[in-house]
């Protein structure tokens, strides 16, 4: 299903009306090539063109359409008319190559042999003749006169050729392109079989091209489909024959996936260790909205989320149909392979509703300076140690994304982490409170109990004991702060962990101490606070001996909601008037 969807996406992009958005034709690929050797018709070096742009180490080479690269292994395998400097020039650059100069000689010979293996029609092309003449009279001293030569010796970059005065590369000349496709389609001793994607009887690809751009995978690329040990083979079949895919289908799915995973792609995002790509079966507005609402960009994210809400309410999108199928694929590194972390396909409208449901679940009151909605990245980093993305537990990002896409319960580790970080730092934050609220509300919804779902803001009608205890703790802390302004540490810093897990051991002491603090307030304010405490304690029969983890989450929510109410109405709370249980002054 995944490969069929990627194959269909490739076919769709092949017919894109904008040539800039079209994917390479069969047998070609886009490659970043930082340096181009410009030669004349006699093979003399005219210029060493630097195609890079940017500054310092962030320089990026121009991308060109070139013949599809071979599968690189520990052996020697050359690409056609482009490769790294060791292959093209036969000069040892990398440290391991300096120790084995004979390997560089072998690489250069393989590069030349690949060109000489072209059909006669291609070898008679002026560009190919010029390249062979250049290789015959290769002069490294002339290369050393160019300013870019030190950079080539430093990093062993990819090189290719262009005839001086031409716009296209030698490998893009019509005769060479035609020969490339013909050779690719007609490799010798190619087994045939029924392609699992197309259903046609065709030549089966033995080794699939690498997939690049998955965070944490090998920089040279990794595979979704591969069989490199006898233990993975069956019925005497070897390598690609175990999962038979035609050459064109393999080219289509790998080209499409590498396009989606490209560095500048707007259809990929990182969720913890999971690299996520997404696409629709036709041009669709959701392809843009999905990425914007999930990424950590408050300005674009807010506008995209509003557009998503409007589409859900109206059932219409600015571009594309509500019934268009939309695909989301999560990939994670697994040694030399790529693991499928999740795969979800649904109509655009259904998926938009699920995303809207997620943002409704995590919506919670917050300070004015905090973002209006939490991106998935901010939600996860808010649960991690030191709020660092590197500390997000493995698999959590993928499991949270799956819960969003499939409209299922959030993973239990999300609640565990949120509660643990609240206890460790003695403070529920915006992200942690949002995660706790979302987790608990989905559990309540699916359990079909009489428990009241948690609102984004303070809910005085919610009489859950743990929630009321959290509110009570926030009020007692507020009384202490007003009684002793400028305190370096409050009861939260000393007692939050115990109050949220073993309330009976703490609250009797705190309620006794609060009388001392109330005595420092003016009479009107003391009455207000006493009344608020009385209203909260109506939901408490007794102080529990222990609170289970979900109740510790309810405690954190109660504390967070009550504190946010105090902050929101800070100006009004300073007036000695009556105060309601919601913190509003009358």
pLDDT tens-digit profile of 255-281?
A: 999 999 998 899 999 988 899 999 999
Whether residues 82 and 177 fall in one domain = yes
Answer yes or no: do 484 and 421 share one domain.
no
Q: What is the 8-class DSSP label of residue 393? A: P
Task: Please state the φ and ψ torsions of residue 79, each to the nearest 5 degrees.
Answer: -90, 160
**Residue 27 domain flag:** no
Q: Could you tell me if residue 210 is inside a domain?
A: yes
The yes-or-no verdict on residue 360 having pLDDT over 60 is: yes
Q: How far, in Å, CA of 337 to CA of 304, rounded?
A: 34
Containing structural domain, residue 448: 268-456
Residues 151 and 215 in one domain: no
Same domain assignment for residues 506 and 446: no
95: CB partners within 8 A, 6+ apart: none
Pairing of strands 274-280, 62-67: unpaired
Q: Give bridge partners of residue 159 from the DSSP assignment.
A: 35, 83
353 pLDDT tier (thresholds 50, 70, 90):
very high
Q: Are residues 569 and 482 part of one domain?
A: yes
Question: What gap in Å lies between CA 92 and CA 156, rounded to an integer?
Answer: 9
In a domain, 170, yes or no: yes
- 274 and 417, same domain (yes or no): yes
Closest-CA residue to 345 (of 11, 2, 7, 13): 2
Judge if 39 and 136 occupy the same domain: yes
pLDDT of residue 99: 67
Task: Using alpha carbons, select from 307, 228, 297, 239 the residue that is nearest to residue 266.
Answer: 297
* pLDDT value for 457: 96
Residue 167 has pLDDT above 60, yes or no: yes
Last residue of a domain, one of 265, 296, 317: 265
H/E segment holding residue 64: strand 62-67
Count structural domains, the chain: 4
Last residue of a domain, one of 169, 186, 203: 186
196 and 182 part of one domain: no
Q: What is the DSSP letter of 172?
A: G
> How are strands ordered across the β-sheet holding 268-271?
268-271, 274-280, 325-334, 337-347
Task: With residue 246 as reference, give the H or E element that holds it.
Answer: none
Over the range 557-583, which residues count as b (16 or more CB within 10 Å of their CB) and which as e?
bbbbbbbbbbebeeeebeeeeebebbb
Residue 345 belongs to some domain of the structure: yes
- Quick check: 521 and 531 in contact, CB under 8 A? no
Q: Is residue 84 part of a domain?
A: yes
- The average pLDDT across 92-110 equals 81
Residue 95's pLDDT is 62
Cross-strand pairs, 343: 329
Angle subtended by helix axes 396-406 and 348-362, to nearest 10: 120
Pairing between strand 268-271 and 274-280?
antiparallel
Of 210, 238, 265, which closes a domain?
265
Q: Evaluate whether residue 20 is within a structural domain.
A: no
pLDDT higher than 70, residue 2: yes
State both tokens at 253.
């799915």
Q: Is 515 part of a structural domain of the chain?
A: yes
Shared-domain flag, residues 279 and 417: yes
Q: Is residue 249 located within the same domain as residue 273?
A: no
Element (H, E) at 252: helix 247-260
Based on the fold, state whether residues 281 and 417 are members of the same structural domain.
yes
Structure confidence at residue 183 (pLDDT): 62
């Amino acid at each position: 299903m995944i490969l069929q969807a990627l194959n269909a996406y490739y076919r769709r992009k092949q017919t894109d009306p904008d040539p800039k958005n079209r994917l390479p034709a069969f047998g070609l690929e886009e490659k970043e090539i930082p340096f181009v050797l410009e030669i004349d018709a006699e093979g003399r070096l005219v210029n060493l063109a630097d195609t890079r742009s940017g500054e310092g180490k962030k320089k990026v080479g121009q991308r060109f359409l070139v013949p599809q690269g071979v599968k690189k292994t520990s052996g020697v395998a050359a690409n056609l008319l482009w490769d790294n400097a060791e292959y093209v020039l036969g000069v040892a650059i990398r440290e391991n190559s300096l120790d084995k100069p004979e390997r560089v000689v072998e690489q250069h010979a393989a590069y030349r042999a690949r060109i000489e293996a072209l059909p006669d029609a291609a070898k008679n092309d002026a560009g190919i003749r010029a390249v062979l003449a250049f290789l015959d009279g290769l002069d490294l001293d002339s290369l050393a006169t160019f300013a870019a030569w030190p950079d080539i010796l430093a990093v062993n970059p990819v090189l290719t050729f262009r005839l001086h005065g031409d716009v296209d590369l030698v490998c893009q000349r019509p005769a060479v392109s035609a020969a490339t496709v013909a050779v690719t389609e007609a490799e010798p001793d190619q087994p045939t079989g029924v392609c699992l994607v197309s259903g046609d009887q065709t030549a089966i690809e033995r080794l699939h091209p690498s997939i690049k751009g998955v965070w944490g995978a090998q920089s040279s690329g990794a595979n979704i489909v591969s069989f490199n040990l006898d233990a993975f083979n069956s019925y005497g079949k070897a390598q690609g024959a175990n999962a038979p895919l035609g050459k064109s289908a393999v080219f289509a799915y790998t080209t499409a996936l590498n396009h989606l995973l490209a560095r500048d792609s707007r259809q990929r995002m990182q969720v913890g260790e999971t690299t996520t790509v997404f696409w629709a079966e036709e041009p669709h507005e959701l392809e843009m909205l999905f990425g914007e609402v999930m990424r950590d960009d408050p300005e674009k994210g807010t506008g995209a989320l509003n557009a998503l809400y409007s589409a859900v309410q109206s059932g219409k999108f600015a571009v594309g149909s509500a019934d268009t199928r939309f695909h989301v694929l999560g990939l994670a590194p697994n040694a030399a392979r790529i693991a499928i972390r999740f795969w979800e396909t649904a109509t655009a409208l259904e998926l938009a509703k699920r995303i809207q449901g997620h943002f409704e679940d995590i919506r919670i009151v917050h300070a004015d300076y905090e973002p209006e909605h939490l991106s998935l990245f901010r939600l996860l980093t808010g649960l991690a140690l030191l709020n660092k993305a590197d500390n997000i537990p493995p698999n959590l990002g993928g499991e949270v994304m799956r819960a969003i896409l499939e409209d299922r319960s959030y993973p239990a580790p999300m609640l565990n982490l949120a509660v643990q970080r609240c206890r460790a730092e003695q403070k529920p934050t915006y992200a942690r409170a949002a995660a706790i609220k979302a987790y608990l509300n989905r559990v309540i919804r699916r359990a079909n109990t009489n428990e009241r779902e948690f609102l984004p803001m303070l809910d005085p009608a919610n009489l859950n004991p743990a929630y009321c205890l959290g509110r009570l703790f926030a009020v007692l802390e507020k009384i202490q702060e007003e009684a002793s302004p400028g305190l370096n540490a409050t009861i939260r810093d000393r007692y939050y962990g115990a109050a949220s897990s073993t309330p009976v051991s703490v609250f009797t002491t705190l309620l006794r101490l609060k009388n001392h603090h109330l005595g420092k307030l003016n009479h009107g304010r003391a009455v207000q606070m006493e009344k608020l405490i009385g209203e909260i304690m109506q939901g408490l029969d007794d102080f529990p001996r222990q609170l289970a983890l979900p109740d510790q989450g309810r405690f954190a929510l109660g504390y967070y909601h009550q504190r946010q109410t105090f902050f929101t109405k800070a100006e009004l709370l300073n007036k000695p008037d009556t105060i309601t249980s919601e913190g509003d002054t009358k």
